[in-house]
Structure 1
Amino acid sequence: MLPRHHRRTLLASLAGLLLIGELAQAQLPGPDPLNLNNAPPSDTLDSGYGAPNALPSLPRLFSLALSNDSDLSRQRYESQATQQEVPLARSALKPHISASTSYYYQRADNIYTDNPERYPDEVYEDRVSGVANDTVWQVQLVQPLFSLERWRQVDKALAQADAADLRVAVAERDLALQVVEAYLNAYLASRKLGLLDSKREALALQLRQAQRAYDLGIGDRINLLESKSRLDQAVADQVQAENQLANALSDLERLTGLLPDFRGSTLGNLERIAIEGGWGNAEDWLTRTPDNIQVRLAEQLYQVAQLDTDVRRAGRYPEVNLTLGYSDRSSSDELRTSEDISASIELNVPIYQGGYTSASIRQGELSALAGRAAMTNELRLARQEVRQRLRSLQGDTRQLEALSRSIESSELFLEAATKGEALGLRDLVDVLDARADLYDLRIQFVEVVCQYLLDKTSLEAAVGGLGTDDLVNVMSVLQRISGGDTSDISNA
């Protein structure tokens, strides 16, 4: 009679064979869903969507977002409106020409009406009557000769136009980060969804194996409940991944106006991807923070506040204007009819306006101080962002290196478990456990890669270096992960 442990091994093998026979009768996809006789090739641990397809083009999605995003359109229109401050300010330095016409009706009581006998009717008839009807039209030209306030207003308008351009640049940068984040979320959710689907199938087989062993009397209820719990957790994780994918695709559709398709790409040999750990001296990155778009905008707004204060101070200086005029009066009183040409130079000196000028200057100085504080704060935030992203990148690199080794060890363990099951040294449950653990490790690897790419993109944005090539690099890394390219991620 066989020893007890030999009988248990034999019964476990028999249960595994019965389960595989049931699966074959159920016509599950693929010749061997578990791939028990060989080590699992890396391209079988994918999303389950079939043949790999190209990823949606991230640069193209960003290009669509530039023309589709409503908030960016608003910023552009506001920038164009602000640009008009320049011609408005310059117009105050140019001649102003105005034309006017008027009609006068006058009824007077004067020396002519009081002494009509002293004035001959043929000359003073209308004046003696005291009634006059005049029609006047005139043209006037006013040319500022000296106005410090108006000249400084032009400088302020030019600075405001530059600030408006920087606001658009900030909006474009924020839009790029939003598109990248939504793209990475969609990629991660789609890969998690596929891997969790394969994990769920493996755990379902594990549950059936545990149920079979329990029915045959060679398994216990604890293993059965554990298998059921792990399967339920996998189903819950899969539902969560479906929601995450739907949310990410919704964000991309809102930003770009297009619903991209992330199905089809497989995952390659993740453990063979080399990760470069060095990111250089942190001070080298910190010296680039003044190029941060947000910092440059704050600096430009500070300059606008300073120029606005200069405009307010110029209100204390006199203004000199040249005025040229021409008028033509046609009247029922011939003595009032005239054609005049005039020229004058006017000097306007502000002496006292109730304290308005002093209060206005003080207000401008305080606004400038607030602008300087805002500039300092933005610079500090940019430096903090650089430090945080560098620390995160270093942590991501170490995690990826550890996960790569862990995936390689997990694949070796799965291969050993598969061979041990074939030799009767291990049962089918061990094989399924090893396979489920491998799915979890690959999911973690993809999560860290996406976080790595987001940190790298955010770091470039923090130093003002974010460009289209960075979006291309993000896609390149994801394609290498999907295709199994062993190139160095950091060189992307």
Structure 2
Amino acid sequence: MRKFRVLPLVLAVSLAGQAQAADLMSIARDALVNNADLAASRSGYNSVQAGEDIERGDLLPQVSATGSVTRYNITSSQRSNLAGAGAGGGAGGINAGGGSDNHYTGSTVQVQATQALFDATNWYQLEASKRQTAQEALNLRVDRQQLLYNVAQAYFEVLRAKEQLDTLRAEEQAVSRQLEQVRQQFDVGIVAATDVYEAQASYDLTRSQRISQESTLQVNFEALEQLTGKQYSSIDGLADDMPIERPTPASQQAWVEMASSQNLDLLAARAAVKVARANLDTSRAGHLPTLSAFANYQYGDSDQDNLRGNNEQNQIGLEATIPIYTGGSTSAQVRQSTFSLEQTQYQQESQLRTAVQQVRSYYAQTLNNVLSVQAQKRSIESNRSALEATRNGYEVGTRNIVDVLQAQQNLFTAISNYADARYDYVLNLLSLRQEAGILDVDTLDVLNGWLRADKAVLLNFESQGTTGLGIGDDQPDPGMNGPSPLEGSQGGAGQRRLPPPNRTALPDDNDLNGLGRGGLGRGMPGDTGY
């Protein structure tokens, strides 16, 4: 049977090292189970909780037993002189001398029991330990909540990086077509060399940004692995119609009151004040007497020649200890504990102010994100119209290639800003709930409902094509290989003739597909809260 029991474990270990698809909730569950920092916090809590049992033990009966067996080897030598008056006035004396050896074994057994009847120091130490356990429990909740936020932040940073990469790839393709067209126009003498260099510079800049963004996406994927200890081949993307609305309740004061009563860091700071107050009581108890009861039983046995047999002894009584003078150490401990209490009280006040300031800040930022998403959506449309107008001006000669490239860059920047605004909204809303002390698994579950598997972000570089994560730089590089655009414009066999006037290359619908989450022609998403 053991052979078959090993097989599931082997399969589990082998599958754990393989990349897997996941959504926000599955990654959060993995983090709660596997995150090393959270595991360390749990162990710290268990350690503090064990200290409570240690302090309680000092108030319970203390029983001990001791025993000994001793072998005695005694050698003694004695000499005695006796003097007296003899008959006939004579003197006489008797000298006696002798020696003896004594070898025997003795054994003793002692049992002692004590019970504290009054010991304020131990009692307050137990109370302080209980409060330390409560404080550590809050610290564990703080770490757990922070882990949930870190998972969500890492998750949405991956999605943000993917949208930015898609935008840069589309922009690179559009600028590449623009550069190719300008080169063709230069070859036939329609435009000056300056236009070619401007287009080439714009392409090189976009290309370098795309390469950097590919690295950013890979690094963000690895951040998820750091939190969970697992690799993920893909994660679900954010739905186009995810609602953006004001946080609920729609009152800053309501969020402030929530943070003042539920912020976990603030609750931990208040628990620290209780611990410091218990420590102060412990220090003051050093001035008080202690009273304990004790009972002893002792048994002894010996096989010595003249002392064969055993003896027993019983004792029972009370013992009181009154501290009279301890060199000033007890008073110094009281002063030290008093200052420690003041420190924790100031830290509590600081934490309260921080929580209030943070919740106000995140509430204002969330409201700003709601308006920003709407403004960035309109900015995409306006920049698209501006690009169309600039293109028409370029065709009739009132605008130059720099204007076209700038307008094109503005459009893609607007698309990128729109994506940033959406993810800023999500993360700021999560931060707001964290400061209010209500960020939990249920919050992530609501967000998870707006994720879609058909918008998954893949870590498989080869399978995503031009819109995926490609670490390899296999994109066409117009103008980077072969002769300079100017060197290839001197005429010769195969040179292209002057083409009819073409419209300046614009990003087509394929370039913008999937960008801005919902495309450029869709209306604003509705609004909902968490």
Q: TM-score range by the shorter chain?
A: 0.7 to 0.9
Paired position in structure 2 for 1:235: 207
Which of these residues, 225, 230, 249, is aligned with residue 258 of structure 1?
230
Alpha-carbon offset, residue 114 of structure 1: 10
Paired position in structure 1 for 2:155: 183
Matches within 5 A, 1:31-430: 56-104=22-70, 133-262=105-234, 268=240, 275-276=245-246, 280-290=250-260, 291-333=262-304, 334=307, 337-411=310-384
Q: Secondary structure at the match of 1:280?
A: coil
Cα-to-partner distance string for 1:47-71 (whole Å, 9 max, x where unaligned) = xxxxxxx984112111111222212
**Alpha carbons of 1:355 and 1:432: their partners in 2 closer, same or farther (altered >3 Å)?**
closer
Alpha-carbon offset, residue 473 of structure 1: 3.7
**Alpha carbons of 1:326 and 1:316: their partners in 2 closer, same or farther (altered >3 Å)?**
same
Would you say the 8 A contact 1:477–1:489 is kept in 2? no
Q: Secondary structure at the match of 2:232?
A: coil
Alpha-carbon offset, residue 387 of structure 1: 2.1
Alpha-carbon offset, residue 337 of structure 1: 2.7
Q: Secondary structure at the match of 1:93?
A: coil
Would you say the 8 A contact 1:265–1:482 is kept in 2? no
Would you say the 8 A contact 2:62–2:113 is kept in 1? yes
Which of these residues, 442, 450, 458, is aligned with residue 469 of structure 1?
442
**Alpha carbons of 1:472 and 1:410: their partners in 2 closer, same or farther (altered >3 Å)?**
farther
**Alpha carbons of 1:99 and 1:385: their partners in 2 closer, same or farther (altered >3 Å)?**
same
**Alpha carbons of 1:335 and 1:346: their partners in 2 closer, same or farther (altered >3 Å)?**
farther
User: Quick one: which amino acid aligns to residue 400 of structure 1?
Assistant: V
Q: Secondary structure at the match of 1:137?
A: strand
**Alpha carbons of 1:149 and 1:405: their partners in 2 closer, same or farther (altered >3 Å)?**
same
CA distance in 2, matches of 1:460, 1:325: 62
Q: Secondary structure at the match of 1:219?
A: coil
CA distance in 1, matches of 2:25, 2:426: 15
CA distance in 2, matches of 1:351, 1:443: 76
CA distance in 1, matches of 2:241, 2:318: 85
CA distance in 2, matches of 1:132, 1:172: 68
**Alpha carbons of 1:155 and 1:269: their partners in 2 closer, same or farther (altered >3 Å)?**
closer
CA distance in 2, matches of 1:263, 1:179: 12
CA distance in 1, matches of 2:215, 2:351: 36
Paired position in structure 2 for 1:22: none
CA distance in 2, matches of 1:225, 1:317: 89
Would you say the 8 A contact 1:182–1:252 is kept in 2? yes
User: Quick one: which amino acid aligns to residue 58 of structure 1?
Assistant: L
Alpha-carbon offset, residue 451 of structure 1: 1.4
Cα RMSD (Å) = 3.6
Would you say the 8 A contact 2:237–2:451 is kept in 1? no
User: Quick one: which amino acid aligns to residue 363 of structure 2?
Assistant: L
Paired position in structure 1 for 2:413: 440
Higher strand share: 2
Paired position in structure 2 for 1:18: none
CA distance in 2, matches of 1:314, 1:274: 58
Would you say the 8 A contact 1:202–1:436 is kept in 2? no
**Which shows bigger deviation, 220-229 or 316-325?**
220-229
Q: Secondary structure at the match of 2:116?
A: strand
CA distance in 2, matches of 1:55, 1:474: 17
**Structure 2 portions without partners, runs of 5+:** 1-19, 81-99, 456-515
Alpha-carbon offset, residue 220 of structure 1: 2.6
Alpha-carbon offset, residue 472 of structure 1: 2.9
Would you say the 8 A contact 2:159–2:237 is kept in 1? no
TM-score by length of 2: 0.71
**Which shows bigger deviation, 432-441 or 323-332?**
432-441
**Structure 1 portions without partners, runs of 5+:** 1-53, 116-127
- State the identity as a percent: 24
Paired position in structure 2 for 1:15: none
Alpha-carbon offset, residue 299 of structure 1: 1.1
Q: Secondary structure at the match of 1:337?
A: strand
Would you say the 8 A contact 1:133–1:332 is kept in 2? yes
Paired position in structure 2 for 1:122: none
Which of these residues, 411, 431, 440, is aligned with residue 458 of structure 1?
431
Alpha-carbon offset, residue 180 of structure 1: 1.8
User: Quick one: which amino acid aligns to residue 310 of structure 2?
Assistant: T
**Alpha carbons of 1:166 and 1:443: their partners in 2 closer, same or farther (altered >3 Å)?**
same
Paired position in structure 1 for 2:12: none
**Alpha carbons of 1:289 and 1:370: their partners in 2 closer, same or farther (altered >3 Å)?**
same
CA distance in 2, matches of 1:386, 1:311: 37
**Alpha carbons of 1:74 and 1:485: their partners in 2 closer, same or farther (altered >3 Å)?**
farther
Would you say the 8 A contact 2:24–2:152 is kept in 1? yes
User: Quick one: which amino acid aligns to residue 329 of structure 2?
Assistant: Y
Cα-to-partner distance string for 1:200-236 (whole Å, 9 max, x where unaligned) = 1111001111111122222233332222222112112
Would you say the 8 A contact 2:51–2:129 is kept in 1? yes
Would you say the 8 A contact 1:55–1:265 is kept in 2? no
Cα-to-partner distance string for 1:151-203 (whole Å, 9 max, x where unaligned) = 21221111111111112112112222222221121111111112211111111
Higher helix share: 1
CA distance in 2, matches of 1:351, 1:318: 9
Would you say the 8 A contact 1:196–1:234 is kept in 2? yes
CA distance in 2, matches of 1:435, 1:278: 38
Would you say the 8 A contact 1:410–1:437 is kept in 2? yes
Alpha-carbon offset, residue 343 of structure 1: 1.1
Cα-to-partner distance string for 1:250-308 (whole Å, 9 max, x where unaligned) = 111111122334578598489xx664489733222111223111111111111111101
Cα-to-partner distance string for 1:346-393 (whole Å, 9 max, x where unaligned) = 111111111111111111111111111111111111112112212322
**Alpha carbons of 1:251 and 1:473: their partners in 2 closer, same or farther (altered >3 Å)?**
same
User: Quick one: which amino acid aligns to residue 339 of structure 2?
Assistant: L
How many residues in Structure 1 have an aligned counterpart in Structure 2?
422
CA distance in 2, matches of 1:60, 1:131: 79
